[in-house]
Structure 1
C-alpha cells in the first residue's frame, strides 16, 4: 500500500510542471460559463429543431415534413425565392460596398472614423425603422412618386412597392453597412508596401490593385458575402412590408406555421432547411477562406506571407512587361489607390443613400395631419405626446429598456470572460471556440427563435423578461466578443504580467488593469449589446408573449395595420437614441486611442 502511495506522489522536479499546468488551466476558466450558457440556450434549442423536423404530423419518426416541403411546389418555390433574394442581396451589397471599404482602408484614422460614424447610424437603426422609411419613399403616394409626378417625369405611377425591386432595395440598404464593415478590417491588414514596391518596379496603380490588393482582400469579400447571405436567409420584415406574395421567404412561412397554424413540426422542418444551408455554406467558407477572417485576421501568417510573395513576384514580372507602355503612372487609375475624387464622390453618394432614407422619417413625426402625406404639414409634436402618453407604447418602451439593459450586462459579463480566455489559448484551441461564440451570428435568427420557443415552453419562460434577456444575450454575445477582441489585441499584456509578479490576484488585475484600460471597448460592447436587444423583433415575436410586448414588436403589430404619424414619432425617437449611442461609442474609442 505504501509503495502504491509513493508511486503516485510526484517527484520534486515534476511539481513545478504540475503547478504550471494548473495555472494554464485556470486561465481558461472564464470561458466556461459562456460555453455552458450557449450549450443550454443555443446548441440544445437548435438541436431540438433538427429533432422536431424528423417527426411526422402523427408523431411518428420519419421524413414526412421534408417530403412535404419537397413535394409541394409552393414550398419549393419559396425556398428558391429565399435563396435567390439572399444571393442577389449579398452580391449587390459586396459589389456596392467594396469601393467604399477600399477608400476607408486607405484614409487616415480620424477621417475614416468620421465616415464610419455615418455608416454605423443606418447599420444600427432598427430594421423596422428602415423598412418604414422605404414604405414612405416607395409607395404609390410616397416621396419619390410625388416628386416624379410633380416634375413631369411620369404621367402616373403605381409606386415601386410591393415588388421584388422594393425588397432588394430594402435588403441591400440594410446589409450594405455590414458588408463594408466586414471587408474593412481585412483591407486594413494588407501591407501597403507590396503595392508601393510593385509601382517602383514599373507596374501601374491599376495593375497593382488588381494583381495584389484585390486577391489579398478576397477573404474579406468572402466573409462579407457569407454574413450577408446567411443573415438574408432569415429576413421576414422587409419582404413582408415591401414585397408581394411572390416575394414570400422561408422565415415568413416559419412564423405563419407557428403563430397561425400551430404546426411546430413543420416549422422545425423549415428551420432545419435554413440551418443546414447556413452550416453548409459556413463550412465551405471556412475550408476555402478560414474562419479567422471574420475577425479581420489572417488564417495562417506563413501562408499569407508566402502568398504575398507570390503575388509580388508575379507583379514584378508584369510590371517589367508593362513599364515601357506606362505613362503618367502617378495619376493613373484616377484615385484607385489614393482615395481620389471619383472614389470619394462615389463613397459620399453611397453614404447619402444609406443615411437619407433614415432621416426622411423625421419630418413626418412633426406633421399636424392625422395621416401620412407628402409634403408633411409642419409643425406639431402631438404625435410624440401620443407615443409617450399611450399606456401600450409606454409599457413596450419600458420593457425594451429593461430587457436591453439586462441583456447588455449579461452578455458583457459572459463575453468578457470568453474573450479573455481566448486571448490566452493556443490557436488550435481558440479557433473552434471562436466558431462556437460567433455561431449565433451565423445561424439565422428565425432558427434560434423557434428553438428557444421549444425550450422556453417547457420551463415557463415564454412571455417573461428573463426569457427575452436570455434569447437576446444569445444574439448579442458574438457582437460583444468581436468588439472586445479588437481591444484585447491592442492591450499590452506586460502590464498584467507586472501586476501578477507584484502579487495581484486575477480578479484584482481584471478590476484595476484590464477593465480600466479596455474601458472604451467594454463600453462599446455594452452599448452594441443593448442595441441588439433593443432592436430585435424575431425573438420578441416568439418569446415576448401577446400582452406585454417590446417596442419593436409593438411597431410590427401597428405597421401591418396602418402607416401612422405615431410610428414616425417612434422611429424618430429610436433614430435619436441610436445616433447618441453611436456617437458615444466613437468618442470613447477616440479618447482611448489618444491615451
Structure 2
C-alpha cells in the first residue's frame, strides 16, 4: 500500500494540475461527441428499425448522389486553392510591415469575420445580381451590353465562399509567419542569396505549417457549406449539405440523412488525419512544429519528403527565373520590407474583404422595392419596418442575450483549458487539443442535427439554455485558440516574480496575468459572441418554430423575399460589428500602453 501511494499522489497532482481541462473536455464529450455518434448511428438502420446497409446502397446505386459528391469536392478544392493563392501575399504583407500598419490592415481583414455570413451573402447578391453593382458598372463603362450571369451558378458560390474563408486563411498563415526568425533571411543575404532564393528556400518552407493549417480549415469548412450554395448557387450544382437539409426538413428521412452525414464526416476526418500525421494539430494554434513534435510513421515521412522535394524544385525553378529578370526589382518584393507588387496585392485583397458589405448601407436607404443598384431616393422606411416588427425586435434581443450568455460560457470553459495547454505538460496533448478544436472542422449541420436528436428527448429544443449550450460548442475552439496565441508571447517570469513576493496564484492571475492578457481575453469573448449570433445551423435545428433569432429570421426572409429591409437589418448588424471592433481596438491600445509601462 505504501509503495502505491507515491503513484496515487502523482495521479492526484496531475488531476489537480490539469483540472482546467476537465470542464471543457466533459462538455464536448457530452454535447458534441455523443450526439454526433448517436445521429450517425441511424445510418445503420432501415425504415423499420432493423440493422441494414440499405441507406448506403442508395448512395452507391444512384448516380445523382455521386455527382453531388463531385460537386462538393470540386467546389471545396477550388475555394481552398484560391484562398491560399490570394491569402498568402496578404499574410506576407501583414507579417512584414510595422506594427501600426499591420494593426490598421488587420482591422479590415477582420471585418468579414465579425460580420454575419448571411449578411455577406446578401451583399454579394447585391454586387453580382443582374441589376447589381458589377453589372451596372460594366454596362456604364461600355464593357458589356447585357448583364453577366454571376449568380445561380458556380461563380457566385465560389466568390461567396472565398470571401467567407479568406480571413481565416490569412490569420492561420499570419500566426506562423510572425514566428519566423528574420535573421535567417539576413544571414542568407550576407552569403550572397537574392530575394527569390531567400524566399523560396527559407521563408516559404518555414511558413508551410501555416499554409497547411489554412488549407485544412478552408477545406473542411467549405465541405459543410450550405448557405452560399443555397443562396448563390444553381439547383443543378447542389452540394451534399443541401441534400442533408432536404432529407431532414422536407422528406423527413433521418436514416438517409444520417448516411449522407457519415459520408461527409468520413471525408472530413480523412483530411484531418492526413493533416495531423504530416503537420500536427498544434499548427491550428499557430505553433511551429519542431523535430520533436513531428510524428513518425511511413505516411508522415512520405508526406514530409514529398513536401521538401517539391519545395526544393520550386525554389530552384524560381531562382533560375529570377536570374532571367531584373534581380534588383524582383528582390524588393521579397525583402523584409515588402515591395510595390506585394503592397498592391495586399491592398486589393483587403478591399475585396472589406468593401462588399458596405454596399448594403445605401441600399438600406433606397426607395427601390427590391435590391438594385444604384439606389434611388432616400427613405428611412426600411428601418422603420424593422423597428415596428415585433418578430425582428424579438430576434435581435434574443440573439444578443444568447450571444452574451454563450460567450460567457465559452470563456468559463475555454480560458482554463487554454492556460493548461499553454503552460503545462499535458499527457496526450495532441488528442486533447484535437478534441477541443474538432468542432471547428466537423460540419455544423451534423452537430446541430445530433443536438436536436438529443434535445427532443430531454425537452431542450427551443430553450435558451439549450441554444447557449449548442452555440458554445462552436464558440469554445475560438476562445482556446485566441487565448493560447496570446499566452505564447506572455512572459511567465512576471508570475514567478509575483509568487516570490508572496502573492498567491489567484492574486497573481487577477493583478498581473489577466490585465496583461485582457486584449486576447476580450477578443476571444467577442469572437465567441459574434460566432453565437451568426450560428445558423443551431438556429435552424435547435430552435423551435416560435423562437426568433437573427440568423434564422434572415435565412427565412432571404429564402422567400428579397427587399431593402434585409439591407437595413444587415446595416444594423454592421453597427454592432463596428462597436465590437472599436472595443477591441480600445482594449488593445490600453494593453499596449500597459505593456510599455
Report if TM-score (shorter chain) is over 0.5: yes
CA contact (8 A) 1:183 1:223 kept: yes
CA offsets per residue over residues 226-250 of structure 1, 9 Å max, x none? 1001000111111111111122111
| Alignment partner, residue 333 of structure 1 | 331
* Counterpart for residue 366 of structure 1: 365
User: Unaligned regions of 5+ residues in structure 1, if any?
Assistant: 1-7
How many angstroms does 1:385 deviate by? 1.5
Q: CA deviation at 1:285?
A: 0.6
SS in 1 for 2:461: coil
Aligned residues of 2:97 and 2:338 also touching (Cα < 8 A):
yes
**Separation of aligned partners in 2, 1:90 and 1:243:** 18
Q: CA deviation at 1:417?
A: 1.4
> Counterpart in 2 of 1:437?
436
In structure 1, C-alpha distance between the alignment counterparts of 2:486 and 2:139, rounded to whole Å: 52
Q: State which drifts further: 506-515 or 266-275.
A: 506-515
Single out whichever of 223-232 and 365-374 deviates more from structure 2: 365-374
- 2:362 counterpart of 1:347: no
CA distance in 2, matches of 1:500, 1:52: 54
Q: Measure the CA separation in 1 of the matches of 2:537 and 2:388.
A: 26
Q: Distance in 2 between matches of 1:215 and 1:9?
A: 53
Alignment partner, residue 32 of structure 1: 22
Pair 1:289 & 2:279 matched? yes
- Tell me, yes or no, if structure 1 residue 258 matches structure 2 residue 256: no
State the aligned residue count.
576
For the pair 1:185 / 2:184, whether they are aligned, the reply is no
Q: Answer yes or no: is the 8 Å Cα contact 1:258–1:264 preserved in 2.
A: yes
Question: Corresponding residue for 2:571?
Answer: 572
2:68 aligned residue (58, 75, 78): 78
Structure 2 distance, partners of 1:25, 1:478, is: 22
- By how many angstroms is 1:555 displaced? 0.6
The question of whether the paired residues in 2 share the 8 Å contact of 1:30 and 1:421 is answered with yes
Provide the rounded CA distance (Å) in 2 between the counterparts of 1:554 and 1:326: 58
1:272 paired to 2:270 = no
Contact preservation (8 Å) 1:131, 1:170: yes
- What is the deviation of 1:291? 1.4
Q: 1:423 to 1:121 in 2, by over 3 A?
A: same
Q: Deviations over 1:59-82 (max 9, x none)?
A: 111221111112111111111101
Map 1:398-413 → 2, pairs under 5 A: 398-413=397-412
- Residues in 1 aligned to 2:494 and 2:23: alpha-carbon distance in whole angstroms: 26
Preserved contact between residue 49 and residue 272 of structure 1 (Cα < 8 Å): no
C-alpha distance in 1 between matches for 2:491 and 2:142: 63
Q: Deviations over 1:506-561 (max 9, x none)?
A: 44444344333322211111111000001111111101111222111101100111
Residue 10 (structure 1) shift: 6.8
Query: Equivalent residue of 1:377, what SS?
Result: coil
- The match for 1:517 is 516
The answer to whether the 8 A contact 1:268-1:450 is kept is: no
Cα displacement (A) at 1:260? 1.1
Structure 1 or 2, whichever has the larger Rg, is 1
Instruction: Give the drift of 1:105.
Output: 1.1
User: What CA distance in whole angstroms lies between the structure 2 residues aligned with 1:590 and 1:23?
Assistant: 39
Q: State yes or no: 1:471 paired with 2:473.
A: no
Query: Within the alignment, does 1:47 sit opposite 2:47 as a pair?
Result: no
Paired with 2:97 and 2:482, the residues of 1 have a C-alpha distance of 21
CA distance in 2: counterparts of 1:523 and 1:587, whole angstroms: 11
Is this contact kept in 2: 1:105–1:187, CA < 8 A? yes
Separation in structure 1 between the aligned mates of residue 8 and residue 343 of structure 2, nearest angstrom: 59
Q: Deviations over 1:346-391 (max 9, x none)?
A: 1111111111211111101111333333211242222112112200
Per mean C-alpha deviation after superposition, the further-off stretch among 490-499 and 364-373 is 490-499
Q: Which moved more, 1:475-484 or 1:487-496?
A: 487-496
Tell me the SS of whatever aligns to 1:203: coil
**What is the TM-score of this pair, normalised by structure 1?**
0.91
Shift of 1:489: 2.0
CA apart distance, 1:436 = 0.8
Structure 2 residue aligned with 1:139, among 125, 129, 135?
129
- Write the deviation string for residues 93-150 of structure 1: whole angstroms up to 9, x where unpaired: 1111111111111112221111110000012211111110111111112122222223
Deviations 1:419-460 (A, max 9, x none): 122123325532211111101001111111111111111111
- Structure 2: how far apart are the matches of 1:22 and 1:146? 69
The range that moved more, 366-375 or 52-61, is: 366-375
- Structure 2 match to 1:550: 549
Equivalent position of 1:200 in the other structure: 190
CA distance in 1, matches of 2:582, 2:324: 45
For residue 189 of structure 1, give the secondary structure of its aligned residue in structure 2: coil
Question: In the alignment, what sits opposite 2:457?
Answer: 458
Whether the 8 Å CA contact 2:286–2:485 is kept in 1: the answer is no
8 Å Cα contact 1:101-1:181 kept in structure 2: yes
1:74-113 alignment to 2 at 5 Å? 74-113=64-103
Gaps of 5+ in 2: 295-303
Aligned residue in 2 for 1:148? 138
